[in-house]
Amino acid sequence: MRAQNAVQPSTFRCRVYFEDTDAGGIVYYVNYLKFMERARTERLRDLGFLQSTLAAEGLLFVVHSAEARYHAPAKLDDELLVSAEVIELNRASLRFRQQVRRATDDALLCEGQFMVACVRADNLKPRAIPPTLHAAFAEQGGAGKSKAGE
């Protein structure tokens, strides 16, 4: 199901700490992926689902693929706004569009897309997203077409 753009992406606020920076004093590139992971986790929490509860029920979400583009650096003490928008919802996977922006000037620092698969915790094989969670994502993302084969 393709999500419509009518619903605003959720936004996670975070601060750049010394541990996030490299020797040049800017955010180390891989840490943007960590910020985006946290935003996806908070998106689930906003929908009423905790990853710890889902894991205890035998369900995990794993990143299948990631794509990131870097535009400008974040630096120590910057406050960041990290968005997580579901742009594709399938039977056993979701595609997120994400952006990291600096809060003070709304400058786009990094953007990417992430395909996240739903898998069984015991064997890591794909499984359908539970109906209540699928419905929550569909409601937040709007109605659309299902992708064949998912």
Strands 108-120, 79-89: pairing is: unpaired
Q: Which of 88, 97, 99 is nearest to 143 (CA)?
A: 88
Report the alpha-carbon distance of residue 89 to residue 95 in Å, rounded.
Answer: 7
User: DSSP letters of 84-132?
Assistant: EEEEEE-SSEEEEEEEEEETTT--EEEEEEEEEEEEETTT--B-PPPHH
Query: Which entry of 22, 46, 106, 122 is annotated as an active-site residue?
Result: 22
Contact between 101 and 80 (Cβ < 8 Å): yes
Q: Which of 89, 90, 84, 94 is nearest to 63 (CA)?
A: 94
Helix (H, G, I), strand (E, B) or coil at 135: helix
22 catalytic, yes or no? yes
Residues identified as active-site? 22
